[in-house]
Amino acid sequence: MKKKHRIDHRFKTEYEKWCLLPDLTEEERKLLVSMTEEEQQECFYRQVPFGTAGMRGKVGLGSNRINRYTIRLAAWGMAQILGAGKKVAIAYDTRLDSKNFAEEAAKVLAEAGLKVLIFDRYSPVPLLSYTVRELHCDGGIVITASHNTKAYNGFKTYEASGAQMGPNKTEEIFRWMLKKADPLDVPHCDDLAQENIEWIGEEIAEKFTSAAADCSKLNNSSAKKDLSVVYTPLFGSGRDFVLDALEKDGFSQVHLVKKQARFDGKFPGLRKPNPEEPEVFRIAEREALREHADLMIATDPDSDRIGAGVIQDSKAFFFTGNQIGALLADFLSRQGSVKGKIMVTTVVTGDLGSRIVTSRGATVIHTLTGSKFVCEEMNHMEAGEFLLGYEESHGYIGGMHIRDKDGVLAAMLICETAAWHKTQGRTLLDALEDLYQEYGYYIDEQDSFVFEGAKGAKEMQKIMARLRSRRGSVFAPLGKPDKILDYEKGVDELPRTNVLKFFFPNGSWVAVRPSGTEPKIKFYYCIRGKDQRQAQDLYEAVQTSVEEFLRTFKF
């Protein structure tokens, strides 16, 4: 006899507390009253947690949603670990509630006795990282959900180095949040007009774009002037900063996609403002064809990620994050000797970039997923040692002046890479094909499968357990794995984390991890073949095998 699914009603107590909040608007009160029991459970069954990039979730009412109460609670937790008298910078992107949430965080920190520097404009992630370092702050916050849909927002936390806080500190913040006797009653000042809060903007923004321009690697002004670029900021905060950095570096043919240039957190016409996805380039592609542009680039709302594409033979080609990383690694490692230099990447990032730079004398360090782990390695380096840091998810760090993914500097370096190849009579696509000819053909892709809510979290746990027990048989088209790394057990002195990586005799690998910030489980493929056909056939066969495996789970 089939057991009935029993709903855990502990969420009801939390829901009822929220219904009694005195400062709810009439609209908010109506939304709470109209919630079904299932909606109540999803919104109140837990405290929205911290993941690999801070606290992120859907905006709405409830302890498992992003709203002024959970933002205040997170800011209060951060105040507890930093202490009164410390200095914190706060930035926010163009999402609908980002500015309001930033101000709520500022009011909490100021009331707790911390000095707050808050931006007077929409500001990208790399600017916040730079500001924390430049103004000697003790921490930083960015209100953003990066490339997620308009329904999401979040709370990223930074340490004094300008890097995102590591797991130990974010877990400590979360413990403080859970300890708060009444999480809905967080002390905060009434307004922003008080001595602990200072607005910042123009001066630090100017220094930031100048620091990006100082990282230029191409000393060829005519090559830069000759490159035609189409840029879309996808309604996000990167717009003015990317344009300014490119202008300072000498790029004069930059065409802004005006239909996607205004600041708009509704992201009209976009399913998701994610530069990893070719569909966000639809308007840019039309304009690139009309302008006969050499390059298309796009940054996401907080401008920590960047996508790129080219038009070749009247067709658009968009690069994966791994391909962009390999092209940057190739370009940077051609600008003088790289012996003694270090590139930092992650355990789920493709191998091509690493093979290129090691063949030229550089060293590669692999970290866990997340720019904070990349930046921890940077903190141990001298400026002359660092070559490049990147993740497969379109995040690149090209300079020591910041400690997070930087779509602004990456835009400049991608343009320089394209300009340099153009002087050699090549497009970026031609350059990539040359690399495949030399190092082998790679297909580096990622598949994500969504598992929403509490039920979804349990399903993802089952999937990881099944993969551990089957020891690679799910990926049978690649053969039997000759090595399996389970990062939950500890690998290479890295922090323990729920990641599995399967290595195969032909040089391919597959890695699997549940996302730390989204309700997804991710499969990362690095498929190597002697040519494109062989690599493609292997990739498609493995994809089919994974999809068949996942059909037994409820997603």
CA distances from 366 to 169, 392, 493 (A): 22, 12, 11
CA angle 276, 280, 281 (to 5 degrees): 100
CB proximity list for 109: less than 8 A, separation 6 or greater? 75, 78, 79, 88, 90, 116, 196
Angle between helices 26-33 and 11-19 (to 10 degrees): 150
Distances (CA, A) of 431 to 296, 395, 418, 535: 16, 20, 9, 19
Residue 100 near residue 64 (C-beta atoms within 8 A): no
Please give the Cα distance from 141 to 282 (Å, whole number). 32
| Backbone CA torsion sign across 297, 300, 301, 303 | negative
Q: Which of 467, 539, 469 is nearest to 500 (CA)?
A: 467
Structure tokens at 293: 């542009």
408 in Cβ contact with 245 (< 8 Å): yes
Catalytic residue among 123, 146, 228, 333: 146
329-332-335-340 Cα dihedral, nearest 10 degrees: -70
Would you tell me how many other CB atoms lie within 10 Å of the CB of residue 468? 14
310, two tokens: 């080219």
Element (H or E) spanning 3, and its range? none
DSSP result, 411-430: HHHHHHHHHHHHHTT--HHH
Q: Please tell me what DSSP assigns to residue 165.
A: P
Rounded Cα distance between 463 and 456, Å, is 11
Q: Two tokens at 227?
A: 């490159």
Is-catalytic flag, 359? Answer: no
Q: Write a three-state SS string for 234-280.
A: CCCCCHHHHHHHHHHHCCCEEEECHHHCCCCCCCCCCCCCCCCCHHH
d(CA 45, CA 108): 25
List, in sequence order, every residue forming a beta bridge with 254; answer none if it has no partner: 229
Give catalytic residues, as residue numbers: 146
